[in-house]
Amino acid sequence: MNFFKTAMLLAALTALLMVLGFTFGGSGGALIALIAAGGMNFFTYWNADKIVLRMHHAREVDAASAPEFHGIVSQLAHNAGLPMPKVYLVDTDAPNAFATGRDPEHAAVAATTGLLRMLGREEVAAVMAHELGHVRNRDTLVMTMVATIAGAISMIANFGLFFGGNRNNGGGIAGILAVFMAPFAAMIVQMAISRTREYGADRAGAEISGNPAALASALAKISGAAKRIPNPVAERNPAAAQLYIVPVGLSEMFSTHPSTEKRIAALQAMQGRGNTIGGGVRPSALDPLGRGRR
């Protein structure tokens, strides 16, 4: 199913780029856009995860540089039966986390330093288990490509604003319309990502960590803080925000996540049924480098 979604997203990108190419350059522009789309699709498939990580200025950490945080991810990956993903930290006060990569063998998970400072150890483990749930459910390819594709669409629309359209074909007006329609089209592409994806990752995260209550608590804390603390990456590129465990700022209008309240209610119901595995971890906070606070 995710392969089909990815193919449809690539086809949508190609079609939109050709429309924009024709708008700004006629039939020649459409041909150039088709060639560019082919190259972009190929590059995006193999490098979307690197683009997203670079966009966030994420830095890779290991057992030496962030022993406790890395150890949490390692234990959770073992619980989930997954290969060990690469682990990254993003230096920002905005609390959030995301997963990326085209498949479980090429996955990466990232958390912000703000998230590590805000949450206790059990909550951090539950959040990272949610991200590994995305990896296990093979959501990450579609999520990552949507972020890069929607960003590319917005960039091309802005490019058209400066260079105008094919005025001999009434392209001046069409160019202005394309500038406004391209971000809307990017929003439609994002809305194609089912909200059930987040419920599935919440359920998988609760099972992997064995602690749905900790995930519910973490969601409440992150959601509240995300409304107060700016997220520079999401402000520059709202398309990237659908990667996060909790949407931020303008990303809420992209409607890729169910409401946090509904997600918490589902986790509380899961806790009440006792549908968990694993033994949890001791509560404590983590410092920005992932070492346990004394």
Output the pTM of the full model.
Answer: 0.78
Per-domain residue ranges of the chain: 2-273
Contacts of 125 (CB under 8 A, 6+ apart): 72, 75, 76, 209, 211, 214, 280, 281
- What's the rounded Cα separation, in Å, for the pair 239 and 201? 20
The pLDDT tens digits of the residues spanning 122-137 come to: 999 999 999 999 999 9
- What's the rounded Cα separation, in Å, for the pair 79 and 59? 25
Active site residue 122: no
The pLDDT tens digits of the residues spanning 212-242 come to: 999 999 999 999 998 889 888 877 776 677 7
68, 123, 131, 207: which one is catalytic? 131
Q: Which two tokens stand for residue 60?
A: 């890779």
The pLDDT tens digits of the residues spanning 10-62 come to: 777 677 778 777 776 778 878 887 887 778 778 877 887 898 899 899 999 99
